[in-house]
Amino acid sequence: MEGMITHDDFRAFTQGRCGVIELNRSKALNSLTVDMIRGIDQALDLFEQDSSVDVIVIASSTERAFCAGGDVRWVRERDLDGDFEAGNTFFEEEYRLNSRMASFPKPLVALLNGVVMGGGFGISAHGSHRLVTSTTLGAMPEAAIGFVPDVGMSHVLTHLPVGKEIGEFIGLTGWRLSPADMLWTGLGTHLVENPASIVEELREDDIEQVLQRRTLPVEEAGESQLASHADFIREALSHDSWVDVEAALRDGVSNTELSEEFRSALKDQLDSANPTSQVAGFEMFERAAAVDVDTALRNELTVGTALRHQPNFAEGVRAVLVDKDRTATFDPAESSAVDAAAWRELLD
């Protein structure tokens, strides 16, 4: 093992033919700071230029989480202090990293142990391989904090092999993705048992050889709730406005033909979301389905910046990540009171 970059919250090193980026901010579930974003970018510079490195692995030092997202608590604090520029810099640098990863010339392999949320998808979903384990729990939960799905996920989710309606459902409701959901949607590419051993094997063998040996049958992940309810989701998301989509989804909450587990989870997600985030997000997703990832990232930055200037962002982060009482009061409280056209006009 050769040390290359060391920091309190991450390290990067080479191991045989493999370049490794290891996140190490375990107390915060590896939520990304500006320094971590810059460090990952610096590591990619080194690995891209090093002809002895064939593959890059992004991993976590803790099994609890791969990465729980960007450090929006920090952004909220800066915003409340009136320093919006600090938050602007954070998101601009994060999105540049996401864009770079989407076109990186070498395989990017993410070992998705534990929690993968928000910015955690930004440093994994654009790569070539996303290895899921039995502990993986994914989500884009931004609507609950008064924000929108970002890090290029509006593009990723509207280009899933299972259809954009499934992706929009994931992004706009904050659906909690099981390992089976991850694999069925394509957000996860392989199911593995011991991702740590994969890094060792990549010292000598290429990624496809290793995965041929280590990949488990997808059936071992169990049943996907999304797959089981795909027809309902696609029908609900076929409407032309979030108001109509939400009405169809809430009708499903009382539809006993759907599983109780699904209906209960759906109700919880809908009830906890900021209506403005969902309306703005719906318009953003509709546009993302027809544009490239860089345009989608620009739109996410535009919409996200506008939302940060509304009290709902500070209130949502407070309720979910600061006080953790889950009692956010959003204004307006109903999606029908949100001006969808105003959000549509912001988009490229």
Strand runs labelled E in the chain:
2-7, 10-15, 18-23, 55-60, 65-67, 108-112, 115-117, 129-132, 137-139, 190-191
In the numeric block, the tokens 């045989």 are attached to 16
Strand order in the sheet with 190-191: 2-7, 10-15, 18-23, 55-60, 108-112, 129-132, 190-191
Beta carbons of 30 and 23 less than 8 angstroms apart? yes
Judge whether 150 counts as a catalytic residue: yes
Q: Which two tokens stand for residue 177?
A: 């993705």
* CA pair distance 92, 306, nearest whole angstrom: 14
* CA pair distance 34, 40, nearest whole angstrom: 10
> Which is catalytic among the residues 39, 70, 120, 252?
70
> Which is catalytic among the residues 79, 94, 150, 246?
150
> Which is catalytic among the residues 69, 114, 119, 171?
119
Q: Which two tokens stand for residue 248?
A: 């169809």
Question: Of all helices (H) and strands (E), which one includes residue 227?
Answer: helix 225-228
Q: Is 93 exposed, middle or buried, given 0-12, 13-18 or 19+ CB atoms closer than 10 A?
A: middle
Question: By three-state DSSP, how is residue 271 classified?
Answer: helix
Judge whether 152 counts as a catalytic residue: no
* CA pair distance 222, 35, nearest whole angstrom: 38
Question: By three-state DSSP, how is residue 274 classified?
Answer: coil
* CA pair distance 154, 135, nearest whole angstrom: 25
Beta carbons of 330 and 338 less than 8 angstroms apart? no
Q: Tell me which residues are annotated as active site.
A: 70, 119, 142, 150
